[in-house]
């Protein structure tokens, strides 16, 4: 069985601060890993994905994520957040089919 856990339902940071959104997965083998973002009243959009190789993957708008096999994690990071980054972020894993975490709502304070 595989699943994905996002332990933080809501994260609040100040504009310009750094960000880390956590994601842990459970799988007997390394799955494909994704981060999606959902802006209000929109569908999900792909931020970045990891299949293999370099554990740090770059995404759009300055986001990156780091895969850790030892920790079964795929945390999302950004060095300096902007108010427009306020959204819900979903981690997802795939092995044949895709499973989404419950999402983390990011609130960026001015």
Partner 1 sequence: EAAVTQSPRNKVAVTGGKVTLSCNQTNNHNNMYWYRQDTGHGLRLIHYSYGAGSTEKGDIPDGYKASRPSQENFSLILELATPSQTSVYFCASGDARQDTQYFGPGTRLLVL
- Site residues (vs partner 1, CB under 8 A): 32, 34, 36, 41-46, 49, 90, 94, 97-98, 100-103
In the complex with partner 1, the residue whose CB is nearer, 32 or 62, is 32
Q: What is the CA radius of gyration of the chain?
A: 13
In the complex with partner 1, the residue whose CB is nearer, 14 or 51, is 51
Three-state DSSP state, 72: coil
Beta strands, E only, the chain:
3-5, 10-14, 19-21, 24-26, 32-38, 44-50, 56-58, 64-68, 73-78, 87-94, 98-100, 104-109
In the complex with partner 1, the residue whose CB is nearer, 42 or 58, is 42
Minimum Å gap between C-beta 85 and partner 1 is: 19
Minimum Å gap between C-beta 59 and partner 1 is: 12
Minimum Å gap between C-beta 17 and partner 1 is: 26
Minimum Å gap between C-beta 94 and partner 1 is: 4
In the complex with partner 1, the residue whose CB is nearer, 85 or 101, is 101
């Amino acid at each position: 069985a595989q699943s994905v856990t996002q332990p933080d339902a809501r994260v609040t940071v100040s504009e310009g601060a750094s960000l880390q959104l956590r994601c842990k997965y459970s799988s007997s083998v390394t799955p494909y890993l994704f981060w999606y973002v959902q802006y209000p009243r929109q569908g999900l959009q792909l931020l970045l994905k990891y299949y293999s190789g370099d554990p740090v993957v770059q995404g759009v708008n300055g986001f990156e994520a780091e895969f850790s096999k030892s920790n079964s994690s795929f945390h999302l990071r950004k060095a300096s957040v902007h108010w427009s980054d306020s959204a819900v972020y979903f981690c997802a894993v795939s092995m044949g089919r895709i499973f989404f975490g419950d999402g983390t709502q990011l609130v960026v304070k001015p």
